[in-house]
Amino acid sequence: MKPVLIHTHFHKRKTGVTRSIENVLPFFNEDFETYVYGSNIDGQHISTKQLKSILFSDRKTIVHCHRNNEIIRFLFYRFLGAKFKLVATRHAESKPSKLTLFLLKKADVVITLIKSMSANLGIKNEIVGHGVDVNKFESKVNVKIAGVSQENIILNAGRVRKAKGQTTLLQASKILQNYKNWALVIVGKVDKPEYLKELRHIAKDSNIEDQVYFFNETRDIVPFYQAAKIAIAPSFSEGFSLVTAEAMSCECTVIATKNVGVHSELITHKKNGYLFEAGKINELQELLENCIKNENSYLGKEARKEILLNWAAEKEAKKLVNIYKLN
124 and 236 in a single domain? The answer is no
Number of structural domains (the chain) is 2
Domain-embedded: residue 73: yes
Domain-embedded: residue 138: no
Domain-embedded: residue 76: yes
Residues in the chain: 327
Measured distance between the N- and C-terminal CA atoms of the chain, rounded to whole angstroms: 17
93 and 193 in a single domain? The answer is no
Chain segment 233-242, per-residue pLDDT in tens? 999 999 899 9
CATH code of residue 291: 3.40.50.2000
Dihedral angle at the C-alpha atoms of 145, 150, 153, 154, nearest 10 degrees?
-120
37 and 171 in a single domain? The answer is no
Give the single-character DSSP code of 95.
P
Contact 35, 44 (CB under 8 A): yes
The whole-angstrom distance between residue 286's C-alpha and the CA centroid of its chain comes to 26
How far is CA 128 from each of CA 119, 160, 220, rounded to the nearest angstrom? Answer: 13, 26, 26
Chain segment 58-81, per-residue pLDDT in tens? 999 999 999 999 999 999 999 999
98 and 224 in a single domain? The answer is no
Alpha-carbon gap, residue 165 to 172, rounded angstroms: 11
Domain-embedded: residue 143: no
Give strand pairing partners of 86: 63
pLDDT of residue 137: 97
Domain-embedded: residue 33: yes
pLDDT of residue 326: 82
Domain-embedded: residue 236: yes
pLDDT of residue 97: 93
Give strand pairing partners of 269: 273
Quote the domain boundaries for residue 157.
152-310
pLDDT of residue 85: 98
Low-confidence ranges of the chain (pLDDT < 70): 327
113 and 166 in a single domain? The answer is no
pLDDT of residue 45: 98
pLDDT of residue 323: 97
Q: Are strands 253-257 and 152-157 parallel, antiparallel or unpaired?
A: unpaired
321 and 292 in a single domain? The answer is no
CA dihedral over 245, 247, 249, 254, signed as positive or negative:
negative
